[in-house]
Structure 1
Amino acid sequence: MNDFRPGDPIDLRSEAMRKRVAESHIGDFELTAARVVARLTGERVVVQDDNSDRGMVDIRIDYRGRPPGYVEVVMDIDPGYSAMASFVRGQRAVPVPDLGRVWFVTVSPRARIQRLIRDLPAKLRLLQQAEALFEYVTGQQQLEKHQSRQVRDLAALGIVQLASRPARDGEEGRVLLFGQGTGGAAEQDWTAFHGWLRDYLHDENRADVRRKLRATNADERHVFVGMSFSTPWLAYHALSEDYNGLPERPPELPGEITHLWVYAYPTGRCLAWFPDKGWVDPRACWATE
Structure 2
Amino acid sequence: MKDYRPGYPIDERIPDQRARMEKGHLGDVELAAARVVARFTGERVVVQDDNSRAGMVDLRIDYADRPPAYVEVVTDIDQQYSRMVSGVRQHQKLPAARLGRIWYVTMGASANVNRLVRSLVSRLEVFQAADQLFDTVQAQATFSQNEHPDVRRLAADGVIELASAPAKDGEVRIYADGAGGPVGQDWAHLDDWLHEYLHHAERADVRAKLAATHAAERHVFVGMSFSTAWGAYHALSSRYSNLPELAPRLPSEVTHVWIWPWPIGRCLAWFPDRGWFEPGRHWATE
1:121 positional shift:
2.1
Q: Distance in 2 between matches of 1:58 and 1:112?
A: 31
Contact 1:143 1:155 in 2 (8 A): no
- Structure 1 position 141, deviation (Å): 5.6
Mapped contact 2:143–2:152 kept (Cα < 8 A):
yes
Q: Give distance in 1, aligned partners of 2:33 and 2:207.
A: 18
Say whether residues 1:15 and 2:15 are aligned partners.
Answer: yes
Count of aligned pairs: 285
Q: Tell me the secondary structure at the aligned position of residue 152 of structure 2.
A: helix
Number of the residue aligned with 1:259: 256
Q: Secondary structure at the match of 2:248?
A: coil
| SS of the residue 1:178 aligns to | strand
1:250 shift after superposition: 0.9
Please tell me whether the aligned partners of residues 144 and 156 of structure 2 are also in contact (alpha carbons under 8 angstroms): no
Q: Which residue of 1 aligns with 2:46?
A: 46
TM-score (norm 1): 0.93
Superimposed CA distance per residue, residues 158-208 of structure 1 (whole angstroms, 9 cap, x where no aligned partner)? 00011222224xx3x222222211111011111111111110000000000
Asked if the contact 1:7/1:35 (under 8 Å) is kept, the reply is yes
Whole-angstrom distance in 1 between the partners of 2:2 and 2:269: 26
CA distance in structure 1 between the partners assigned to 2:184 and 2:134 by the alignment: 29
Task: Give 1:6 deviation, angstroms.
Answer: 1.4
Q: 1:193 aligns with which of 186, 190, 195?
A: 190
Q: What percentage of aligned pairs have identical amino acids?
A: 56
Determine if the alignment matches structure 1 residue 224 to structure 2 residue 221: yes
Q: Which residue of 1 aligns with 2:207?
A: 210
Normalised TM-score (structure 2): 0.94
Q: Which structure 1 residue ranges, 5 or more long, are not aligned? A: none
Could you tell me how far 1:53 is from its partner in structure 2? 1.4
Name the aligned partner's letter for residue 118 of structure 1. Answer: R
Q: Distance in 1 between matches of 2:207 and 2:143?
A: 42
Give the unaligned 5+ runs of structure 2: none
5 Å-filtered alignment, 1:10-159, equals 10-137=10-137, 142-149=141-148, 150-159=150-159
Q: Is the 8 A contact 2:87 2:114 kept in 1?
A: no
Q: Match of 2:105, SS?
A: strand
Distance 1:228 1:260 in 2: 17
